[in-house]
Amino acid sequence: MWDFGVETDSHRSGDAMSATDDATPILPGLSPACGRAIEARFDGGLMSSDGGLLMLREVERRLGIARRLAACIDDPRAPVRIRHGLDEVIRFRMLMIAAGYEDGNDADSLRTDPLFKLAMERLPEDAALCSQSTVSRAENLPDRHALLRMGQAMVEHYCQSFRQVPRRIVLDIDDTFDAMHGGQQLRLFNAHYDEYSFQPIVVFDGEGRMVAALLRPACRPSGRQIVFWLHRLIAALRANWPRVEILLRADSHYCTPEVLR
């Protein structure tokens, strides 16, 4: 992330800028927030070490991932009492993690941060973003069916990223080690890494695009588990591309008799 200042129309202090200000390069291409222009520069008024959030904001505005995922979850709250929609909560959490704030407790200090507010389409003087308790409730809201819908939505997002249907795709499948601290659900001790962890499965295509991910305990998946998940993944891809040729690449422990059959 970069250290620079962010200035909105409401924070400009004078009619004309000095020659020094004119010589300061401005990062172009930032979308307005609440009708106010945004300028990112290295001598602005409100300084932040999370300037990259504005780039992530532009990416999320184009991709709409938070909106896609929120549409997969049934929100039990009374509509008239909702202050922070699920898409807003998910977007805030995504930005937190991307900026290095993985702990949900950080939401209570970041909810009033001016740059996080701008990244969430709010002005620095607007109301605070959602709290840690709201984030925690949202993270525990999806049930098994919602999680399946969210996974399918991400596969659809992957397919829609292509200008034309490919003739063939290569799927690279592997698991990755994710150390944990505390008493999280699904925690297991992994003797190889000598730590408690998750061991999610991740799938990228041959060009490096992410296709899917599955959070799971820190143990080697069985052949039956792999087949069950691959069947759903390939079915989701076939729903978008019925005739595409799919080649699977994986480490040896994925080559179980169940998978090879």
Closest by Cα among 211, 222, 219 to 249: 211
The reply to whether 91 and 152 lie within a common domain is: no
Evaluate if residue 2 carries a pLDDT over 60. Answer: no
The reply to whether 55 and 161 lie within a common domain is: no
pLDDT of residue 44: 61
Evaluate if residue 161 carries a pLDDT over 60. Answer: yes
The reply to whether 204 and 127 lie within a common domain is: no
User: Are 191 and 206 contacting, i.e. CB atoms less than 8 angstroms apart?
Assistant: no
Residue that finishes a domain, picked among 122, 139, 156? 139
pLDDT tens digits for range 116-141: 999 999 988 899 999 999 999 999 99
The reply to whether 45 and 170 lie within a common domain is: no
The reply to whether 149 and 249 lie within a common domain is: yes
Closest by Cα among 113, 143, 149, 144 to 129: 113
The reply to whether 9 and 134 lie within a common domain is: yes
The reply to whether 180 and 104 lie within a common domain is: no
Q: Specify the number of domains making up the chain.
A: 2
pLDDT tens digits for range 221-255: 888 888 999 999 999 999 999 999 999 999 888 88
The reply to whether 150 and 135 lie within a common domain is: no
Residue that finishes a domain, picked among 107, 139, 171? 139
H/E/C letters for each residue in 28-59?
CCCCCECCECEEEECCCCEEECCCCHHHHHHH
Beta strands in 44-183 (DSSP E): 46-48, 168-175, 178-179
pLDDT of residue 17: 41
Q: Average the pLDDT over 195-199 and give the result.
A: 90
Residue that finishes a domain, picked among 116, 139, 162? 139
pLDDT of residue 147: 94
pLDDT tens digits for range 18-35: 444 555 666 667 787 777
More confident of the two residues 34 and 163: 163
The reply to whether 92 and 195 lie within a common domain is: no
Evaluate if residue 97 carries a pLDDT over 90. Answer: yes
List the domain range (segments joined by +) for residue 195: 144-260
The reply to whether 63 and 159 lie within a common domain is: no
DSSP 249: E
The reply to whether 8 and 46 lie within a common domain is: yes
The reply to whether 195 and 93 lie within a common domain is: no
